[in-house]
Amino acid sequence: MIRKNLDLIILGLLISSLIMYDVTFELLEEFFHLIFEVLHNLFEWVELGVEQVVEKVFHILHIGETVAYLFISERHGSQVVTFYFLMAVILYFLVRLSKFAPNVYTNLKRALLMSWIRRKTQFQLFWHGLSTLQKAALFAAALFVLVLGSLFII
């Protein structure tokens, strides 16, 4: 039932978000803030872990002096090495995403087109099946809902 009418549910949520734009904006702002905080904490956690691992490996293999000489590996140096390592990992995932994204876009475009055609056909069949009196009643009900909805906006 939900899968069959998912496009109507999304359309209803879109219209509701346009009517209640202030609530929608606040929810989106809080959601993106949450995502940013989670990503920031994840970055800090990974950075700390990589930094600790690098320090342990340098200590175990006794190459601290060589690395300190080559990279000037103080606190700042290890942070720079960690930063570039994380940027390499992020770049790798972005390259993988760039190969995955066109297929997702094509499938989404096809699904939206099929949904549009299906709903348009259903509406045309429904409209042609109504009598003139039913069409007028449907138009009056829609007009009433629009007027009632405009009271909430004002």
Q: DSSP string of 99-122?
A: HHHHHHHHHHHHHHHHHHHHHHHH
Q: What is the pLDDT of residue 109?
A: 94
Q: What is the pLDDT of residue 115?
A: 86
> Distance between CA 62 and CA 120 in Å, rounded?
72
> Distance between CA 58 and CA 65 in Å, rounded?
9
> Distance between CA 66 and CA 97 in Å, rounded?
37
Q: Work out the number of other CB atoms within 10 angstroms of the CB of residue 78.
A: 19
55: tokens are 């320090």
| Residue 151 DSSP one-character state | H
Q: What is the pLDDT of residue 71?
A: 60
Candidates 45, 50, 60; CA nearest to 85 is 50
Q: From first to last of the 154 residues of the chain, give the pLDDT tens digit.
A: 667 777 777 878 888 888 788 888 898 899 999 999 999 998 888 878 877 777 776 667 655 556 566 665 566 666 676 677 778 888 999 999 899 899 999 999 998 899 889 889 988 998 899 899 999 998 899 889 888 877 877 6
> Distance between CA 140 and CA 129 in Å, rounded?
18
> Distance between CA 82 and CA 88 in Å, rounded?
10
60: tokens are 């175990």
3-state percent breakdown (helix, strand, coil) of the chain, nearest 5: 90, 0, 10
Q: What is the pLDDT of residue 35?
A: 95
> Distance between CA 110 and CA 98 in Å, rounded?
19
User: What is the separation of C-alpha 47 from the centre of its chain, rounded to a whole number of angstroms?
Assistant: 25
